[in-house]
Structure 1
Amino acid sequence: MTIDWTDDRTSVDWHELEALYRAAPLGNKNADDLKVVFGNSMFCCFARDNGRLVGAGRVLADGRDCAYLCDVAVLPSYQGTGLGKQIVDRLLARSQGHTKIILYAVAGREPFYAKFGFLRMKTAMAIFRNRQSAIEKGLLSEN
């Protein structure tokens, strides 16, 4: 496995990225929406193996205070190979200098992110468009 890395958004096939997120699985993210959210992110990285998109991630950041690591996705056939760790390492390196780096993870993936030094926040709260679905998935708690 020889991975080619880039943060160049201009060469991304947004439909290929859409398929990656669906396969990862991180849900159904529309190609047009992915183009917007990656375009508005301060940092991003894309991993390709023989030209095929196999991993991606991004960071929303303000340049000083807060950076938000999100949307780390790896094709299932590449999960467990260290590719996800490399994506997170690259994004964290780019985010250094921010006062805080925040992460929103898929439920059950917390032990993976703890290896990078992430700790649970006691005061984090969120408003989701589909509140009931987020509660059912264990992402939100009403207590």
Structure 2
Amino acid sequence: MNITYEIGVMPTPEEVIELFVQAGLKRPTEPERIALMLKNADLLVTAWQEDKLVGVCRTITDWAWCAYLADLAVFTDLKSSGIGKEMIAITREKIGPQCMLILLSVPTAFDYYPKVGFNKENRAFSIERIK
């Protein structure tokens, strides 16, 4: 399996929607909204198998204190291949040691994140989006 990782390479909204749907992530499916999500990310790490998008890691950060890992998605049949772990490692390298990497997990990934170095926190709060 030959996977290449890219930083800042912008996949099409349709490629990202296909990845989110296939990976079982509940995300918007409107191309315009996905395009804005990608455009406004501070760091975008993608994984490619030849010319096929197989992973995406989208982060919002101030580059000095904290970084929010907003999306981590890998094609279902490649989930145990280390792609997610590698995209997280690239993200951590790029944001630097001064930034804390934080995220909100979907319930199905609760067991995954501690395996790749995240600590479980019980001090997060959120206000849900309206749509």
Show the 5 A alignment for 1:87-102. 87-102=87-102
Moved over 6 A (4+): none
Q: Is the 8 A contact 1:3 1:47 kept in 2?
A: yes
Q: Is the 8 A contact 2:12 2:35 kept in 1?
A: no
Structure 2 distance, partners of 1:120, 1:28, is: 23
Q: Is the 8 A contact 2:56 2:74 kept in 1?
A: yes
Q: Which residue of 2 aligns with 1:109?
A: 109
Q: Which residue of 2 aligns with 1:26?
A: 25
- Structure number with greater Rg is 1
Looking at both structures, which has the greater relative contact order when contacts are Cα pairs under 8 Å and sequence separation is at least 6? 2
Structure 1 distance, partners of 2:27, 2:127, is: 19
Task: Encode CA deviations 1:8-53: one digit per residue, 9 max, x unaligned.
Answer: 344x221111110111111242322222122211111111112011
Please report the TM-score for the alignment, with normalisation by the length of structure 1: 0.81
Q: Which amino acid aligns with 1:114?
A: P
Structure 1 distance, partners of 2:103, 2:127, is: 15
Q: Is the 8 A contact 1:67 1:98 kept in 2?
A: no
Q: Is the 8 A contact 1:70 1:105 kept in 2?
A: no
Count, aligned residues:
130
Q: Which residue of 2 aligns with 1:134?
A: none
Name structure 2 gaps, 5 residues minimum: none
Q: Which residue of 1 aligns with 2:45?
A: 45
Name structure 1 gaps, 5 residues minimum: 131-143
